[in-house]
Amino acid sequence: MSLESEVAALAAQNVLLVQAVTALSQTSSTLLGIQASVIASAASAADSANSAVLAAANAGAPKWVSGTSYTAASGQAVWSPATRQVYRCISNVSGTTDPSLDPSHWALLDRLGPTIQTVNAASVTAVAGVHYVLIYTGSLVTVTMPASPAEGTLIWLTFNNGFYTNIINFNNKNHMGKSYITEPTMTIDNDGVTLALRFMNNEWRLI
């Protein structure tokens, strides 16, 4: 083969290579566009579902009545006569202060998901369906899990107080395959971590 022929053949191969790379780039861009569209559609659907479920829950919430006893363990939700918004009981109360003005006992249900409660004390006893954010910096914090959790109970814990010695007390329940008799507690040696624990098959498990 002559030099001219070899040069022509290489030039033709280069053209084909450029065309293949261009086609691959266009395909990749198309796939990225499809992926973005799918993600956006899924997010929109999730938001719609959340809104629908929350609206249904809110519709069933009774009006808050001054002086009535409400308990955190049952996760009671009421709507406030002052703001018309729905609040969940996070600490037992039978007072006369409207939920909108009583953040120590009530948490606003502004979206579907767990009630978020900050913990600015050295200990807290957790209840179902609440996300606890530990901010107390005076010492380590001990979180005691519910004494009689129902199957499927879910609790979130965020450790954000600068300590690497915070403790979860499992309250005489097994956890992660370990016996509460030999290991009744767990030390969380990481700050800034969030854990989700679900009570399943008579023990607490990380999910």
Per-residue model confidence as pLDDT tens digits over 107-116: 877 554 677 8
The domain locations on the chain are: 1-60, 61-112, 114-207
> CA angle, 197 as apex, 154 and 151 as ends, to 5°?
50
pLDDT digits (tens, 9 = 90+) for 113-161: 677 899 999 999 999 889 999 999 999 999 999 999 888 888 999 999 9
Domain made up of 114-207: CATH architecture: Sandwich (2.60)
Query: What is the pLDDT confidence band of residue 18, given thresholds at 50, 70 and 90?
Result: low
Which CATH number is correct for 61-112, 3.40.50, 2.10.10, 3.90.25, 1.20.1070? 2.10.10
- Burial letters for 38-61: b for 16+ Cβ neighbours within 10 Å, e otherwise? eeeeeeeeeeeeeeeebeeeeeeb
pTM of the model: 0.52
User: Judging by DSSP bridges, how do beta strands 142-144 and 185-188 pair with one another?
Assistant: unpaired
Length of the chain: 207
Residue 114's pLDDT is 76
Cβ distance 186 to 174 under 8 Å?
Answer: no
75 CB burial (10 A radius; 0-12, 13-18, 19+): middle
